[in-house]
Amino acid sequence: MNFTFRPLDPLTDAELLHSWVTHPKAAFWMMQDARLEDVERAYMEIAADEHHHALLGLLDGEPAFLMERYDPAHRELVGLYEPEAGDVGMHFLVPATDTPVHGFTRAVITAVLAHLFADPTTHRIVVEPDLRNTAVHALNEAVGFRPEREIRKPEKAALLSFCTRARFERAVAA
């Protein structure tokens, strides 16, 4: 699959994002009741934040998923673990579809990690998915993440997990 990335435009992309994040299958994104204006505002805040960035993943030039990267020393995980130099936090969302493609979500997370590790300053990727999201835990492990421990964030109980470049490369090669 031919994935590319582009910066998300909060105004132009808000309607598309709204349809993705409010879908019942996106419950772990915690925006089920968001209005279009709420989504627009949330992504305008991200666009203005030097420590948090949102990208659209494109498949053959068409929006196919959402990816966020953040600096865990400044966002999301402040005070919940001791960040190391080269740590990058990540979220991703594959929108629900009536015609799922087998292996698509794994291809997306693989592309996301490859994109993040393309930056030579990235040494480890950090995620904190909801404890109840067992599907993403399995997917994360398949691409090299190792759970470290449960943490409590204001909005959820989460599984703090890490993926090093070496573990990702071994998982992709397997």
What the block records as the tokens of 155 is 């909005």
Joined together, the tokens standing for residue 125 give 């990727």
User: pLDDT tens digits, residue range 128-142?
Assistant: 999 999 999 999 999
User: What is the structure's pLDDT at 142?
Assistant: 97
The domains of the chain, with CATH numbers, are 3-173 (3.40.630.30)
Cβ burial of 47 (10 Å; 0-12, 13-18, 19+) is: middle
**Sign of the C-alpha dihedral, residues 174, 70, 157, 82?**
positive
0.85 exceeded by the pTM?
yes
